[in-house]
Structure 1
Amino acid sequence: MVPWACGIEGCDAVFDGVESLILHQTRDHQRHECKVCGTIVPDGYFAIRHTFDEHTRAEYVRAYDADSGAVRRREAVKREIETEADLQSVVDRLDGSV
Structure 2
Amino acid sequence: MPWECGIDGCGSVFDDVESAIVHQASKHERLECKVCGTVVPDGYLAIRHAFTEHSRAEYVRAYGASSEDVRQREDLIEEVESVADMSAVATELKQ
Output the TM-score relative to the length of structure 2: 0.97
Runs of 4+ in 1 over 6 A off after TM superposition: none
1:71 and 1:53 map into 2 onto residues whose CA distance is 13
2:66 and 2:8 map into 1 onto residues whose CA distance is 18
User: After the TM superposition, which residues 8-87 of structure 1 pair with which residues of structure 2 at under 5 Å, given as runs?
Assistant: 8-87=7-86
Quote how far apart the aligned CAs of 1:95 are.
1.2
Counterpart amino acid of 2:65?
A
Quote how far apart the aligned CAs of 1:75 are.
0.5
Gaps of 5+ in 1: none
Quote how far apart the aligned CAs of 1:15 are.
0.5
Quote how far apart the aligned CAs of 1:67 are.
0.4
- RMSD across aligned C-alpha pairs, in angstroms? 0.6
Counterpart amino acid of 1:69?
E
Number of positions where the alignment pairs a residue of Structure 1 with one of Structure 2 = 95
Counterpart amino acid of 2:32?
E
Quote how far apart the aligned CAs of 1:10 are.
2.2
1:66 and 1:95 map into 2 onto residues whose CA distance is 32
Quote how far apart the aligned CAs of 1:23 are.
0.5
Q: Which has the higher helix share?
A: 2
Higher RCO, Cα 8 Å, sep 6+:
2
Quote how far apart the aligned CAs of 1:52 are.
0.4
Quote how far apart the aligned CAs of 1:41 are.
0.2
Quote how far apart the aligned CAs of 1:94 are.
1.1
Quote how far apart the aligned CAs of 1:93 are.
1.1
